[in-house]
Amino acid sequence: MYSKMCVLVMAMCCCLTSVMAHGPQIQTTNDSGKIVTREIVDASDYDTVLTNPKQVYVMPLAKVASVWRAQPDSAFIGWPGFAYGFGYDATTNPEPFPVGSKFVLGFIDGLKSWNGSAFADAGASEAEAYRGTSVAPSALARTSDSGPFASLEFPGGAGISYASEGSEVHNTVNYRMLGDGNSDTSFLPDGIYLLSMQLSSSDQSIAASDPFYFMLTKNGASDLEEAIAWLPIDSSLVQVIVPEPSMLSISVVGLLSLIVLGDLSRSSRRQMP
């Protein structure tokens, strides 16, 4: 009975996750012909508030199904993607980015790790950005120690369109670690990792963003402040993300607790003389 209930809870998790919003995204705007990366926002803020520009996103890594992934939110592990519809209105404001064009997310350096005084080569470890499923990605880019560095394009198909989602248009990108440089389930050392990227457009009229960085921490980091300060980037351009427990996870934990308590209660009654 207990195992059947656990299966039911896991099924509920999958359903609730699909019903929930589309997850945290980097708000992305076209400022006078240049891509600008802004704060990571949830679905309620894709197009409601213009957030401040950001170039460094500090967030933990979380292990799910033996894979270490970026965690900007407790309910959405693996994100963020990009939301690029702010300001669009079908009747008053034109599309922020050219319809039919595509974004190009590219690595601009190899994966680095913090050695206590600087970011240096992460050894055998690498990272991947991908779209689609983790088993069969529709697009994938892996870090490397030297160039040319890999990139991926999105959205798929005919490119950018505002027809269905309007100002809430967005595309998800996932990020995962490869401890040994090949397998996403291999051992990953604790530490602070630095992923260096840039967002450009297939449309030559749009200039690429400034470089931006994911600072990813595994199992905490006592010297995180020193690592952030090492980057030659103003502190106003840094977003530190501490995921809060989601209502989904709280609900599931509560339900599991009730199941376990109920099972123990029934078991104790059966054992009474």
- Domain membership flag for residue 256: no
| 58, 242 Cβ separation under 8 angstroms | no
- Domain membership flag for residue 25: yes
- Domain membership flag for residue 265: no
- Domain membership flag for residue 1: no
Q: Provide the domain limits for residue 117.
A: 21-246
Q: What is the pLDDT of residues 182-214, one digit of tens each?
A: 999 999 999 999 999 999 999 999 999 999 999
Mean pLDDT of 166-179: 96
| 137, 31 Cβ separation under 8 angstroms | no
- Domain membership flag for residue 224: yes
Which pairs with CB-CB distance under 8 Å and at least 24 residues apart come from 220-226?
A: 220/190, 221/114, 221/191, 221/192, 223/114, 223/116, 223/192, 224/58, 224/192
- Domain membership flag for residue 8: no
- Domain membership flag for residue 11: no
Distance (Å, whole) CA 98 – CA 161: 9
Q: What is the pLDDT of residues 59-92, one digit of tens each?
A: 999 999 999 999 998 888 998 999 999 999 998 9
Q: At residue 242, what is the residue type? A: V
CB-count burial class (<10 Å; 0-12, 13-18, 19+) for 212: buried
> How much is the mean pLDDT over the chain?
85
Q: How many domains does the chain divide into?
A: 1
| 171, 82 Cβ separation under 8 angstroms | yes
Q: pTM of whole model > 0.95?
A: no
Confidence grade of residue 45 (pLDDT, cut at 50, 70, 90)? confident
Q: How far is CA 196 from CA 5, 123, 172, in A?
A: 43, 16, 18
Does residue 158 register a pLDDT over 50? yes
Distance (Å, whole) CA 216 – CA 205: 33
- Domain membership flag for residue 135: yes
DSSP string computed for 53-76 = B-SEEEEEEEEETTEEEE-SBTTB
